[in-house]
Amino acid sequence: MFGGRKMGTAKLTPMSVLIVNNDPAVRDMLMKLFSEEGYHVVLAGTGAEAIKIVTNSLVDCAIVDQLLPDFSGVELKRRLLKVSQRTHVMVLSSFTTIRSSDDVLRFGFSDFILDQKELLEILQKGIIPPPTAAVSASAGEEKCERLKKCLIDTIDVLVGLQEINDPFFGGNSHITMEYARSVAEEMKLPQETVDEIVVGALLRDIGRVGIKNEILQGRRKISDSEYKTLQSHCENGAKIIEQIDFPWKIRPIIIHHHERYDGKGYPSGLKGREIPIGSRILSVVDAFAAMTAHRPYRSRNLTKEEAIHELHKNVGTQFDPEVVEVFSSVVNRKFFYRGMGPKPKIMMAGSEIDYLTLIKLRLVNDGFDVLAYDNGKDVLESVEKTAPDLIIADTIMPEMNGIEVFRKIRELPAPFGETPVVFISSKDDPESKIEALHLGAEDFLVKPVDFSVLAARIRNIIRRDTKWRKGGGAAIAATGVVGDLKNLGIPDIVQTLHLGLKTACVSIKGPIGEGRIFFENGRIRHAERGSLSGEAAFYEMLRWQEGPFTIAHGQSTKLRTIEMDEMQLMMEGLRRIDEEKKEEPPE
């Protein structure tokens, strides 16, 4: 593997290479060449698209074709270097187009490559350091990575403390960040990009700081002017952090996390791959987190299944279909306990307020609704009014200790008296532990407590409760993005996958059979329907106006039955349909 870069003490992240070429065949060849050597490859078909990609994400090296539809390779190099001086830009040209012009010679002969093997060799030996150089990174570099992690953790804690007592948005930023990190890692994005997305997720809504609470948390429908104020939080957030020299490009993620895949979002109307990958991920996970959380303007939150269904309904228009597919898999595998109904309610009691605050922060970030009290008497009065899902109690408290509170709770009628209790004690006292467990306590923990273990233990206790499990339905099988042609027709599917340069298989169940269309880097490579294949199969499926479909990203085929450009293929298919309609006898 040649494409390694040091991240931390031992972890390598692949170098990012941008291929800018108008010829799909050349793009495919270069993508295969660099991907096989371990590089993270990004594709662009025009100079304008390349500029947006470099502006919004970290790119180590750009391989630029000399002849592009909007810029020459030399001019594009100038523009890319203005945007990012850290990006190495190489102009790729065939032997017949090389000229000894002043523009060419100004950058040096290494910018013009005659052979793909020479191109790869130059990257490996000169421009992008091999893994051996990365592995020998200095202690200072390792310290820098530790400082980055410390910075991320600090931002997470500070944002969490800001939200901790918010009844609607408490823990929202941390939960959204967890979703976004998992999707980015599942997509095998470079570690730097993952870190960008994590910080962007935590700070994405910082621009709301100047917006009135009645707009953010009001139950009434907001006015047009108030909606514009709400929209301004994207650009306001970017302005707040623009003077901070973060080691990541998080401003584009914050600015564009409300863009839509079809270009109808705000503030810039970007579409498809023009939108930073971090913003595309945040758009999906932020929507899911909002749909499954309690909000003042609706009667109930959506279940996980209902929210995923909404995501799938809006692929290609609001959301990147590949991100939706990855997230659907991730949320069912890693976050199966989320979106199963209202937040679990936890009551805590203890005399150490600082320690209670730390536990509350962790539990709120894990999706719990937490009430904290500094004495046992208040907990008992609260339980008598509303039964929580679980109680965390310290054994030592003023007025009434934890064991006494537990005895009183057990005397209450169901369901109040059946509330599960976990004890936390500063002393490892065997007698108190035995007494608590004999009374029916779920656990007896001694400080200091690992908050991650505590959160997982609480989650398991609550899930075991049958009344809590009633809200959970069967998980949606991670088979890809699902939809119906009535909502997203084949022309829209083709445009969406072409726009995103996606590799995927679209399986369709039409009115008279089933068919499949294979895409590779946005190009239609093969279609099959019954005994038909190639263009004939595609034209047949193009007539279908309804029926379920599934888009499975990453699936490809070696078959090459379609060579026609996808837009020409679409136009020809629609022309044939129009001709057939004209030949039909009038009713």
> How far is residue 544 from each of residues 443, 489, 532, 560, 567, measured CA to CA in Å?
59, 8, 15, 23, 18
**Average pLDDT over every residue of 537-558:** 92
Contact 515, 541 (CB under 8 A): yes
> How far is residue 381 from each of residues 343, 408, 447, 472, measured CA to CA in Å?
21, 10, 26, 31
Percent of the chain with pLDDT over 70: 85
For helices 172-186 and 139-163, what crossing angle results, to 10°? 140
Task: Identify the band that residue 10 occupies on the pLDDT scale cut at 50, 70 and 90.
Answer: very low
Quick one: pLDDT at residue 116? 58
Which tokens go with 448?
């200091």
Residue 409 burial (C-beta neighbours within 10 Å; 0-12, 13-18, 19+) = buried
Quick one: pLDDT at residue 525? 94
Residue 67 burial (C-beta neighbours within 10 Å; 0-12, 13-18, 19+) = middle
Closest CA to 201 of 127, 126, 259, 254: 254
Helix segments in 335-486, DSSP class H: 353-365, 376-385, 402-410, 430-438, 451-464, 466-469
Residues in contact with 306: Cβ distance below 8 Å, sequence separation at least 6, in sequence order:
291
The pTM assigned to this predicted structure is 0.68
**Average pLDDT over every residue of 394-406:** 86
Domains in the chain: ranges and CATH? 4-135 (3.40.50.2300), 139-334 (1.10.3210.10), 345-469 (3.40.50.2300), 481-583 (no CATH)
Closest CA to 468 of 368, 320, 362: 368
* Residue 248 per-residue DSSP state: S
Alpha-carbon dihedral angle through residues 51, 53, 55, 61, given to the nearest 10 degrees? -80
More confident residue, 396 or 183: 183
Note the pLDDT tens digit of each residue in 337-358: 666 567 788 999 888 888 888 8
The helix (run of H) or strand (run of E) holding residue 367 is: none
Given a cut of 60, whether residue 127 has pLDDT beyond it is no
Quick one: pLDDT at residue 477? 44
**Average pLDDT over every residue of 178-182:** 95
Contact 369, 345 (CB under 8 A): yes
Average pLDDT, the chain: 82
Given a cut of 50, whether residue 575 has pLDDT beyond it is yes
Given a cut of 90, whether residue 96 has pLDDT beyond it is no
Task: Identify the band that residue 438 occupies on the pLDDT scale cut at 50, 70 and 90.
Answer: confident
Q: Which of 68-72, 112-116, 167-171, 283-287 has the highest mean pLDDT?
A: 283-287
Quick one: pLDDT at residue 138? 54
Closest CA to 203 of 264, 249, 166: 249
For residue 187, the number of C-alpha atoms closer than 13 Å in the C-beta half-sphere is 28
Quick one: pLDDT at residue 6? 43
Question: In Å, how far from its chain's centre is CA 222?
Answer: 28
Contact 63, 19 (CB under 8 A): yes
**Average pLDDT over every residue of 480-509:** 89
Question: First vs last Cα of the chain: how many Å apart?
Answer: 67
Note the pLDDT tens digit of each residue in 253-280: 999 999 999 999 999 999 888 899 999 9
Closest CA to 119 of 186, 44, 29, 242: 29
Given a cut of 50, whether residue 9 has pLDDT beyond it is no
Task: Identify the band that residue 112 occupies on the pLDDT scale cut at 50, 70 and 90.
Answer: very low
Report the length, in residues, of the chain.
Answer: 587
Residues in contact with 421: Cβ distance below 8 Å, sequence separation at least 6, in sequence order:
390, 391, 392, 393, 406, 409, 436, 440, 441, 442
Task: Identify the band that residue 561 occupies on the pLDDT scale cut at 50, 70 and 90.
Answer: very high
Question: In Å, how far from its chain's centre is CA 30?
Answer: 27
SS3 content of the chain, % helix, strand, coil (to 5): 50, 15, 35
Quick one: pLDDT at residue 103? 45
Q: Which of 3-12, 314-323, 443-452 has the highest mean pLDDT?
A: 314-323
Quick one: pLDDT at residue 366? 85
Given a cut of 90, whether residue 526 has pLDDT beyond it is yes
Task: Identify the band that residue 133 occupies on the pLDDT scale cut at 50, 70 and 90.
Answer: very low
The helix (run of H) or strand (run of E) holding residue 573 is: helix 566-583
How many CB atoms neighbour CB 402 within 10 A? 26
Given a cut of 90, whether residue 459 has pLDDT beyond it is no
Quick one: pLDDT at residue 499? 81
Round to whole Å and give the CA distance between 526 and 196.
37
